[in-house]
Every structure is written in C-alpha cells, then in structure tokens.
Structure 1
C-alpha cells in the first residue's frame, strides 16, 4: 500500500468507534509477540499536561543516554508525530510496513472470528509497541489516549506511573463528576508501582490515594514530596529551582512557555529520578546535568507555540476550561505587555464545554473570530456565536473556514478595522506599504482544539495529514 492508502486504512478503523476495554489490545499484541514487554516504560495519564510531561520525561532520558521511545496523541499536523524514537518521528515507510503486518494478523483472525475488530487507537498503540521493540529502545514513555483504566495503553506494567492534572473532559466517556473521572485516571496505577502525581483538586487526590493504597503503590505528590520555585517566566520558557529529598537544582531552564510547564517539568523530573533508582544497575545514574540538558532541549508543538513572525501567530491546543484558563493566564501575564491587542480565532469541538472555554478566552480578546475546522465533530460557528452572545460578547465575527479566518485576522493585525484603506487589504495584496500598517502590535491567537491548530498550521504551509484527526 502507498502511504496515503495506509493512512486511509488506519482512519477507516474509526468506524469501529471507541471501545473501552483491554480484550482487543491484549489479543492484538499477543499475536504480535507482546512487543510491549521488550522495554521499560513510564505510563502517563491526566487531563491536561500529559503530552508535555511525556515529552519532558523523554527528553531528560535521551539526555541521560537512553534510547527512548515516545508515544503520544493526537498529532497536530502529521500522523508520524505520534511515534518517536530519540525525538525522531517514525518514517512513512515504517508506518506502511507495520500497518500491513498488523492488518494481515487481523485478517488471519477474522478468518475464524469475524467479531475481532480492533479500533483505530488499539492498532496505533500496537504499532508503537512493535516499532519500539524493533528499534531496540531502552525505555518508552507512553501517554494514555483517553481515561486510563480501560485505555489500550493500560496493558503496560510500567516502572513508574504518572498522573498529571485531572479535570473535566470527555464527560460522555469518563463520567460527569471529578470523582468519576479521577477513578478512570487512577486506573493506570499498578500493584507496587510508584505513582508521581501533579497538583490536584482534593476530591481527585482522595481517589488517587485510595487506589494507590489498594495497589500498595507509593504516591509522590507535587508541592508535598517535591516542589519548584519559579524564577523567571516569559514567552521563551521558564526558569525555576527544583526541590526534593534527593537533590536541589537551581536555575533550571525549560524551553516551554507557561508557569504550568514548571509543574509538568517537576513531575517529569521526579518520575525520571524514581525510574533511575529502579534501573540504575543497568544504566548510568541520573545527574543534574542530564536534567538541565533535557529541559533545555525539549520541544513540544501546539502549546503556546509561536508559528508565524509577521504578524505574530500563537497557537495553543487548549480544549477544556482548565486549559483555557492556563492559556488566558499566560496571555495576561506575558503577551499583553508585548502586544496591545489579541485577535482570537476560536474553533471548538461540539462535545466540549464551549461556555467554560469561552469564559476564560473571550475577555482577553480585542477581536473575536469564530470558526470551525473541517471535522464533523466541530461546533458550527453560529452555535459558538450564540454562546458568546449569552456571555455578553455579541460583537464577534463568524467565518466558516479556518483559512478565511486566518486571512481576516491577518488583515486586522496588519491594518486594523478603522482605516478605510486597510479595509480593502487581503493576504494576496502586497500593495500596502509598511508605513501604512496601522496596528503592528497585534497578536493572533488560534486555539480551542488540536484540530483547529493543526488545520491552522496546514493553512500556513505545514505539510501533514489532517483528515479525521482523533483528539
């Protein structure tokens, strides 16, 4: 199969929907030889920050000399982003080879059991495990797809479990209360395996600690067992001091922006420290220099990521109220001092807490452009406008395509809305001299969903496969 046909096959597996339970994935990896048993692993669950935390853990381990696999979701532009070894994305050729191998195994089972129908995420998870085995990695950092307890990744028996911030998301699958959602996340805790936990709502922490006690697992909690003190926070990254019983490290620099990333980095450091103690006989001990190098080198797209210079465009995958609040706080603290006006492009999935997201993001915007990425789960711009109006924001612009929304935002950023000459400007018109640009201090912010920011990157020239991206 060609790469495009391979990707079509993988995405067509979405017709099987989302199936919670481990029977399919256990059977699938079994016929592949249980590749997930060939390497150490760190398993990361949570609502917000689990992707960033996974990337930071992988970066520190790479700096320490480990051969590291990283499995995350969703991708932003290219499917290959989901599976990486030592920071390098899986090749399209490897995806073709692995997919065909897995497809043939499924067909062989279907010859006598037509009910065996692995889902999109189960197949991609199996692909990652098989790829990591073939690459001979030492450690894999595996991000949960959704929830934890019944997620396909939960067949792992990791060396360390990690639970980042838990909040409301995927309510139709995980439950309507924080307690129910926390129960699903805590389902990754395994017998006797330490669990590193980020800052949590007391109700969430109670659930996690109860599950850890049941599983005889020690809990290491941020701001209780380890902590950090912020030294500097600006759009380029954060500088902080890290403290725990093992060591104190001053002036750590993380190349990801936002105070929340300091917490994610601290959780990552603690996880790597505990991991190093468990596997030290086989590998070189962890040192502060490895931590410094790993934090400095980490890259994680789609989180306060500046992707365009003139006019500046910032993207962030915030897709629930707590992530929107973190984004709003970062904009207020670090960007409104640089840029006088925020031009917000917002596209949100229909099944998300749209009102909760808007409550945090609309007040920071000078102009609000409501749009919809090309995906069937996306909320219609008219629905977004109605919710915005109910919150008191009636002066919004509705644009039906993301590409057109970006063009409108660029026009506003470069020209402003009050200058009649600028009203005629378009992104294809280079006739207006720079001296007539009347608002050079605007920032375009694109957010609301990974679908939205992924399609935005594609519209701005990033090559990728965006169709039917699964959040």
Structure 2
C-alpha cells in the first residue's frame, strides 16, 4: 500500500488530506454516507470510499455524491494494473491484495478530482486494513460483533483493539454503543496509545427514534449542539447510533477545519445533510405495491437490530419474510433472530453463495414450527411468489438474510437477470 501512496498524483495530494476513517462490525457504510453528506453541506468537495457495492463497483468511489464514471474507472483500473506490474518487477515475491488495489484506485480518482475532504470505510478491522495508511486523525468504531474472528481475534475486546488501531496516536476515536466492559478496556488501550476516545454513550444524550411520514425522527444533544427533531430517510433504530456517531465525527473535524463555524450554522448543516441521506439496501423500500423492503445485514447482531426496527416500524402489521443465507455465514444464529419477525416466510437462495433452500427452510421450521413456510428454488421464483402472497394476504414484504440475496432480489424484481451481478 505504501508504494501506491508514494505515486503521483496521489502523493502530493494526500499530503494535504486529513481523512475521516470509519470501521465497525455494522453501520460503517451508513456512517460514512452521513459524514460525507455533512461535509459536503458545509462546503467541502468530498471523496467517499465505501465497500462492498450492491450492484456496480462504481458505487464504492464517489465524489460529492456522484459515482465514478465508467471512463474514469477504466483509467484508474489501468493505472493500478501498471503500478502493480512495476511493483512486482521490484519485489517479485510480494503480492498485492484486491482491497489494496481498490483503495489505490479510489485515491487516484480523488487526487485527480482534487477533493479536499475524504471519508473512507475500512474493509476488515483496522490494524492491517489498507485504509489505515491514509493520513487522518479522526476515526470511528460504529459497533462491535464477533466477525472475522480468524483475523481480528476471538473476543469483542480483541476485535475492538484491532479496529481501534485504525486511529493514529494523537487522534480522536469516536465509539458507538458497545458493551460497557469492552468500552472500559478499550479506554485503557486508547490511553496507552495516546488516542482520545469519545464514547457516544458518555458524551451525548439522544432519544429513542420515532417515525413520522416514513421518516425516522430523534433528538440529540452534544456539547453546545441541541438538535431536536432530526429527520432521517434511513429507517431502523440502529440508524440513531449511526447518525450520532456521524455527527460527533463531523463536528470534531469541522471544528478543527472551520473554527469560526457557529452552532447555528452547524445545526443547519447537519439537519439539511441528514434529511437527504439514503443508502442502498439499508431497510430500503424498493417496491410500492405490495410494499417490499430489503436489508443487506448479514451478521447476527445486524439481524437483532433489524428485528428491533421492524417491530417498532410495523408493530401490528403482518410481515412476509423472504430469506436465504450464504453458505459461509452463521445460518442458525441469523435465522434465530429473523424468525421473530414473520407471519409467513419464503425460503430461497441467491445464485451467488446461497445455501440450499431446504437447509434454510428446515432451520427456520425448527425455530418456528407453527410458521407457514413456502420454498422457491430460485430468486426469480421468490419474487413472483412474494408479490402474489403479499397482495393476497395484505402483508408487507421484508427481504433479509444477506447482501447477495437482497441485491439479486432487487434485480429480479426489476425484470433483470440477477446472475449477471458481479460481486467481489
């Protein structure tokens, strides 16, 4: 990664950049989008680098909310291939990882566009992540879950320490709501590394969300900011945690860069920015009649948050769950949480990495023996079945269980071939 960062046009541009870097088990993509929106509203030209993508690779690299063009993607793609070839001529025994190459491509595009603010989402963890080498004193851990334990560690404490290493010595680390004992130990670890830790549980007060006209509304107070009736297009109780982390991150960064920014101006910026943020696949409504929502969460904790959100959003409305889980995920624990939602379910599989349909159906049946369960051999059949059952029984449809499932369902819903999506 160091070799990429020392190439032009990246090197000279990057020397002037103070990036905001975000890691966490869940929510980091939403936080990145919110922070980028706030900085753009404040007048900055913002580069946003996130992963994974839902439909197109271009979604990962954005400037002021606009995806990189096909033409520009070809340019940075050829540049990174040439640079890797040069590197391997010098170091033939070394290898370049895919995420390193993607990160370098994004930075090349941002340097060419001369963005003056940068928001990046870590791939896995923090300690060995490619984004760690990007200069930036303001970082965040959005949430913690037992994920990638073979790389990050077998406990939440070890995972927290790995992710915290994304923040350099002397920097500020904003931490979302996490276990209090893990937080206590993380505070000690950060003190040893001379990292200033801001826990939203200790430095902010914020209300439970309420819903008004299909928007999430909540109140928040942080330092001299008193933000009442903040509106989000993003749905789900967990988005309050994400929004608070994003606001604290942006406030910390903007106070350094624009010290004369008044509280009134900052409040106006935050309100305007957050009201327009949308993120693909995050409890997103994708169809009107019947109402169909998708959520790309794929960890047990993400499913737990989704269940809480659905129960608050639709406390008395029947829900038809369309589900399938990738074969390399924790099927039992994911379905154990999703099983709390539906009045009826359809089990299916994504073309990409989908578990056998009957395996998913049997697992769900063991968790909810009384639940009516239908099976669809393909995602295309699941779309037809879901629309028919939802209209017949006046139900809302929720598609959940994994990113591949949701992306393919949306494509099939739009009448396109879900098998052509290229996941990386």
What TM-score do the two structures reach when normalised by structure 2?
A: 0.92
How has the CA–CA distance of structure 1 residues 299 and 392 changed in structure 2, closer, same or farther, with 3 Å as cutoff? closer
Q: What SS does the aligned partner of 2:207 have?
A: strand
How has the CA–CA distance of structure 1 residues 81 and 177 changed in structure 2, closer, same or farther, with 3 Å as cutoff? same
Residue by residue over 1:229-272, the C-alpha shift from the partner in whole angstroms, topping out at 9 and shown as x without a partner, is 24632572222222122221222212211222122111111111
Tell me if 1:459 matches 2:421: no
Tell me if 1:247 matches 2:222: no
Which stretch shows the higher mean deviation, 262-271 or 272-281? Answer: 272-281
Q: Which residue of 2 is the match for residue 391 of structure 1?
A: 367
CA distance in 1, matches of 2:40, 2:390: 40
Residues 294 and 406 in structure 2, CA contact (< 8 A), matched pair in contact too: yes
Q: Which residue of 2 is the match for residue 136 of structure 1?
A: 114
How has the CA–CA distance of structure 1 residues 334 and 282 changed in structure 2, closer, same or farther, with 3 Å as cutoff? closer
Could you say which structure has the larger radius of gyration? 1
CA distance in 1, matches of 2:319, 2:192: 48
Residues 238 and 258 in structure 1, CA contact (< 8 A), matched pair in contact too: yes
Residue by residue over 1:5-52, the C-alpha shift from the partner in whole angstroms, topping out at 9 and shown as x without a partner, is xxxxxxxxxxxxxxxxxxxx2223334543543422101010111111
CA distance in 1, matches of 2:40, 2:336: 39
User: What's the CA shift for 1:207?
Assistant: 3.8
How has the CA–CA distance of structure 1 residues 235 and 76 changed in structure 2, closer, same or farther, with 3 Å as cutoff? farther
Tell me if 1:180 matches 2:147: no
Which residue, 206, 211, 214 being the options, matches 2:189?
211
Residues 72 and 143 in structure 1, CA contact (< 8 A), matched pair in contact too: yes
Q: Note the residue ranges of structure 1 that are not aligned, 5 or more in a row.
A: 1-24, 416-438
- Count of aligned pairs: 419
Residue by residue over 1:433-460, the C-alpha shift from the partner in whole angstroms, topping out at 9 and shown as x without a partner, is xxxxxx3x21111111111111112112
Q: Which residue of 2 is the match for residue 436 of structure 1?
A: none
Which stretch shows the higher mean deviation, 314-323 or 27-36? Answer: 27-36
How has the CA–CA distance of structure 1 residues 255 and 177 changed in structure 2, closer, same or farther, with 3 Å as cutoff? same
CA distance in 1, matches of 2:295, 2:17: 33
Residue by residue over 1:151-185, the C-alpha shift from the partner in whole angstroms, topping out at 9 and shown as x without a partner, is 11111231311110111222333233212222221
Q: Note the residue ranges of structure 2 that are not aligned, 5 or more in a row.
A: none
Residues 56 and 294 in structure 1, CA contact (< 8 A), matched pair in contact too: yes
Which residue, 262, 281, 288 being the options, matches 1:302?
281
Q: Which residue of 1 is the match for residue 300 of structure 2?
A: 321
How has the CA–CA distance of structure 1 residues 181 and 462 changed in structure 2, closer, same or farther, with 3 Å as cutoff? farther
Residues 255 and 261 in structure 2, CA contact (< 8 A), matched pair in contact too: no
User: What's the CA shift for 1:140?
Assistant: 0.8
CA distance in 2, matches of 1:466, 1:79: 13
Which stretch shows the higher mean deviation, 355-364 or 284-293? Answer: 284-293
Describe how 1:34-183 pairs up with structure 2 within 5 A: 34=11, 36-183=14-161
CA distance in 2, matches of 1:105, 1:311: 50
Q: Which residue of 1 is the match for residue 388 of structure 2?
A: 411
Residues 339 and 368 in structure 2, CA contact (< 8 A), matched pair in contact too: no
CA distance in 2, matches of 1:231, 1:283: 28
How has the CA–CA distance of structure 1 residues 46 and 158 changed in structure 2, closer, same or farther, with 3 Å as cutoff? same
Over the aligned positions, Cα root-mean-square deviation in angstroms equals 2.2
Which residue, 15, 21, 27 being the options, matches 2:3?
27
Q: Which residue of 2 is the match for residue 334 of structure 1?
A: 313
Which stretch shows the higher mean deviation, 264-273 or 250-259? Answer: 250-259
User: What's the CA shift for 1:465?
Assistant: 9.2
How has the CA–CA distance of structure 1 residues 235 and 204 changed in structure 2, closer, same or farther, with 3 Å as cutoff? farther
Which stretch shows the higher mean deviation, 113-122 or 324-333? Answer: 113-122
Which stretch shows the higher mean deviation, 283-292 or 128-137? Answer: 283-292
Residues 454 and 466 in structure 1, CA contact (< 8 A), matched pair in contact too: no
Which residue, 219, 230, 233 being the options, matches 2:211?
233
Q: What SS does the aligned partner of 1:469 have?
A: coil
How has the CA–CA distance of structure 1 residues 298 and 392 changed in structure 2, closer, same or farther, with 3 Å as cutoff? closer
Residues 236 and 256 in structure 1, CA contact (< 8 A), matched pair in contact too: no
Tell me if 1:275 matches 2:253: yes
How has the CA–CA distance of structure 1 residues 138 and 350 changed in structure 2, closer, same or farther, with 3 Å as cutoff? same
How has the CA–CA distance of structure 1 residues 87 and 247 changed in structure 2, closer, same or farther, with 3 Å as cutoff? same
CA distance in 2, matches of 1:256, 1:124: 27
What TM-score do the two structures reach when normalised by structure 1?
A: 0.84
Which stretch shows the higher mean deviation, 251-260 or 303-312? Answer: 251-260
How has the CA–CA distance of structure 1 residues 380 and 80 changed in structure 2, closer, same or farther, with 3 Å as cutoff? same
User: What's the CA shift for 1:335?
Assistant: 2.0
Residue by residue over 1:93-149, the C-alpha shift from the partner in whole angstroms, topping out at 9 and shown as x without a partner, is 111010001111112233343333312211111111111111111111101111111
Residues 408 and 419 in structure 2, CA contact (< 8 A), matched pair in contact too: no
How has the CA–CA distance of structure 1 residues 235 and 333 changed in structure 2, closer, same or farther, with 3 Å as cutoff? farther
Q: What SS does the aligned partner of 2:160 have?
A: helix
CA distance in 1, matches of 2:348, 2:213: 26
CA distance in 2, matches of 1:160, 1:374: 39
